[in-house]
Amino acid sequence: MTSLDPRFVAQQRVVGRVLVLALSTATMLVLLIVFAAADSLATWARLVLGVCWLAAVTIGAWAAERWPALDYAHTGYQLDDDGLQVRRGVLWQTVTHVPRSRVQHTDVSQGPLERRYGLGTLVVYTAGTDHARVALPGLAHEVARALRDELRAERVDDTV
Amino acid sequence: MTPSEQRLHPASILFDTARYARIFAGPALLALVTSSRGGGPMGRSGYGFPNLDTWMWVLILPSVVLSVARYLSFRLQYEPDQLVIRSGVLFRNVRHLPYARIQNLDAVQNVFHRAFGVVDVRVETGGGSEPEARMSVLPVAALDEMRARVFAGRARPAATEQAAPGLAEQPDVETTSELLHLPLRELLLCGFLENKGMVLVGAAYGALWEAGALNRVWSWLFEGNVDARGLLREVVAALLGRGPLPVGRVFLALGGVAVFLILVRLISMAWAFVRLYDFRLTRRGDDLRATFGLLTRVTATIPLRRVQIVTIDQGWLHRRLGRASVRVETAGGQAGSAVRDREWVAPLIRIERVPHLVAEILPGVVLGDARWEPVHPRAFRRAVKRSIFVALIVTFAITVVIGWRGLAVSVPLVAWAVVTARQHVRHLGWAATSEWVAFRSGWLTRGQTLVKVNRIQAVSTHASPLDRRAAMARVRVDTAGASERSHRVDIPYLGVDVAEALRQRLAAHAARTTFKW
């Protein structure tokens, strides 16, 4: 299987940092409001809450730095005559196999952050239920476009 | 035709703003009400509260900005065999829609649209419930061009534009053959086995309880001052050697339960008689037709090409009596509507007739040819761990509630867990040919699901952390119109290499066929 673009790791780290920053700021504000409002809250309770918050933020920040590389190592794709295979998942690992002739339509999309890193997302749609939408993020944008064209080009069109 | 580009009509900005404004209309009205009638300190005087004009701007401005951005970024391009739609400013998206996949081109034109000479166009491929592309709004001429290009290579462009769908579906030569007929005896048996009486009894119970009639019934049964819970408590006390066993009342209660159960089955039988009276399943050309019903005569038509999955269900009693029931899941068909349905084709059928029926519904499937494969040899070891774990949790809960005596419960519970795990794993099985794939499961109640290869949409392997520790994986076959609750091809406890090979094989077979709605 082919790996994703290595820039995906850097991009996902930025996403993680933004997420952790937003969440920690929000929870800190909530905590400060609670501290200000609840006068009767004992000092030890305040300390415990604060330490819990700090621990959660530290773990979150650590995960945001570590997880993208893990995720990258466990993600891959392969396009051959039969169709597109997408492997995803670190703990719960899934390989989704979409036969070439079952692709209904495709999307290649690019968000602002993806654009900065030259990345794109390929989305393949089928008429299925669980896999009505199979997304493959973290490709180089030109690779995503090339994959889409390739997926279309070699379509076998014999009828049953 | 050469590739050409189409943009939205400038009136799109207007229509879009109106649409967004309608979404914001609720909040805007709320703002209006609160700012004009709020009786608080910041009410009518408006101190610290923006007036209505400001509110309107806050609400309208974003929708105008969004509409303009959409208008400027939207590009529709005709390539020789596909439609390419570009949209988005920050989040850019390029969608490729092959003409061959397009099921429906819907165009809506209301009074306002007509005034501007535009139409609201929706493109559907029949996959999801939402239109795959919405173009709001295009000049009328653009719709004509789109129709011409999309349906250029079609033999019957009229059919896709909803011109008499009923006529188009009739095959020239009709061969009618009866596949199943349920005589009275089978009908009653079907009702007995389905046991749907509980639903009616539940409704009746609720109605009586609401009316307060039940209190009288209970007081008549238990002489006014003892309720059923008291009886249960006395029995438990007797079993623990702390009191006399109330033999008479126990027999009365057991008799009551027995009468109740028989009554439920009788009601179910009567219900089946009314609902399924004179059930006939016939095949006409490429359609299955089921007619049934005593009071309301129902005729259901199932085009065979819409059948995605066939499931054969067998309860414990079904097997004792050599019967089964067969149902199909259908999807799609009507352009763009993606109807998902689960329909009986045989509420009750003799087991020896099932292969014949299946062969009619899924041409090319010969059930007798299936070479059923078991799951991994170590599957039992994993299944039993799980069910013993559940049994121990239940034991723990009981022990917490009634004390140390509760531990005695663990013996039968664990034994039962081992037996069910053993039987569950033993009855798992799968079969795959180049034409179809099947999965069966269940010990007392058994299900067997068949999918033809040309109905497979995607195949996936899943490995949880526990699966990986045991070097196993699960294979799932995705089809159109599969519901989460139904029995489907989802094979657990396969060796990793077996699962991988099965996925590759099914995908390869599926890739060599085409899927048509």
Do A90 and A115 belong together in one domain? yes
Domain assignment present for B228: yes
Write out the H or E segment, with its range, that includes residue B149.
Answer: helix B140-150
Cα(B307)–Cα(B332) distance, integer angstroms: 9
Domain assignment present for B256: yes
Domain end (from A45, A73, A101): A73
Q: What is the pTM of this model?
A: 0.81
Do B205 and B322 belong together in one domain? no
- Give the pLDDT of residue B159: 41
Q: What is the largest CA-CA distance in chain A?
A: 76
Do A23 and A64 belong together in one domain? yes
Number of structural domains (chain A) is 2
> CATH number of the domain that B498 lies in?
2.30.29
Q: What are phi and psi of B490, to 5 degrees?
A: -145, 90
Do B411 and B270 belong together in one domain? no
Do B453 and B498 belong together in one domain? yes
Do B66 and B140 belong together in one domain? yes
Do B100 and B63 belong together in one domain? yes
Do B400 and B461 belong together in one domain? no
DSSP-H helix ranges across B329-409: 354-361, 379-402
Number of structural domains (chain B) is 4
* Partner B contacted by A80 (CB < 8 A): no
Using DSSP's 3-state secondary structure scheme, residue B378 falls into: coil
Question: Closest to A107 (Cβ–Cβ): which among B94, B460, B476?
Answer: B94
Domain end (from B408, B425, B442): B425
Q: Name the pLDDT band for A144 (thresholds 50, 70, 90).
A: very high
Do B503 and B443 belong together in one domain? yes
- Tell me which residue range forms the domain holding B434: 307-375+428-511
- Tell me which residue range forms the domain holding A81: 77-153
Cα(B469)–Cα(B447) distance, integer angstroms: 29
Do A62 and A111 belong together in one domain? no
- Give the pLDDT of residue B31: 65
Q: What is the largest CA-CA distance in chain B?
A: 96
Do A84 and A62 belong together in one domain? no
Cα(B345)–Cα(B368) distance, integer angstroms: 20
Do A97 and A38 belong together in one domain? no
Q: State whether A159 and B514 contact (CB < 8 Å).
A: yes
Q: What ipTM score was computed for the predicted complex, to two decimals? A: 0.87
Do B32 and B112 belong together in one domain? yes
Token duo for residue B223? 């002489």
Helix, strand, coil proportions of chain B in percent (round to 5)?
50, 25, 25
Do B202 and B265 belong together in one domain? yes
Domain assignment present for A160: no
Question: Closest to B458 (Cβ–Cβ): which among A98, A110, A148?
Answer: A98
- Give the pLDDT of residue B214: 67
Choose among A148, A122, A119: nearest CA to A9: A119
> CATH number of the domain that A103 lies in?
2.30.29
Domain assignment present for B284: no
Domain assignment present for B283: no
CA distances, B82 to each of A105, B3, B79, B138, B149 (Å): 10, 10, 5, 18, 9
Domain end (from A15, A43, A73): A73
Average the pLDDT over A55-65 and give the result.
95
Do A64 and A84 belong together in one domain? no
Domain assignment present for B288: no
The answer to whether residues B107 and B139 touch, using CB atoms and an 8 Å cutoff, is no
What is the number of alpha carbons within 13 Å of residue B460 lying toward its C-beta? 22
Average the pLDDT over A66-76 and give the result.
96
Domain assignment present for A103: yes
Cα(B385)–Cα(B420) distance, integer angstroms: 12
Cα(B220)–Cα(B263) distance, integer angstroms: 20
Domain end (from A24, A43, A73): A73
Do B368 and B487 belong together in one domain? yes
Domain assignment present for B321: yes
Do B367 and B244 belong together in one domain? no
- Which of A95, A106, A134, A142 should we substitute to test contact with B (largest number of B Cβ atoms within 10 Å)? A95
CA distance A76 to chain B (A): 14
- The residues, ordered by sequence, that sit 6+ positions from B20 with a Cβ below 8 Å of its Cβ are B62, B63, B66, B67
Domain end (from B407, B425, B443): B425
Do A65 and A85 belong together in one domain? no
- Which of B75, B93, B469 should we substitute to test contact with A (largest number of A Cβ atoms within 10 Å)? B93
Do B331 and B412 belong together in one domain? no
Token duo for residue A19? 């997420």
Domain assignment present for B69: yes
Q: 10-residue block means of pLDDT along chain B (517 residues)? A: 75 86 70 57 48 69 87 90 91 92 86 90 78 87 88 57 42 73 92 80 76 67 53 69 72 84 88 90 89 88 88 93 91 51 81 92 87 94 92 88 81 92 95 93 93 94 95 94 81 95 94 82
Which one is predicted more confidently, A123 or B18?
A123
What part of A 107-136 touches B (C-beta under 8 Å)? 107-112, 115, 125-132, 134
Q: State whether B457 and A102 contact (CB < 8 Å).
A: yes
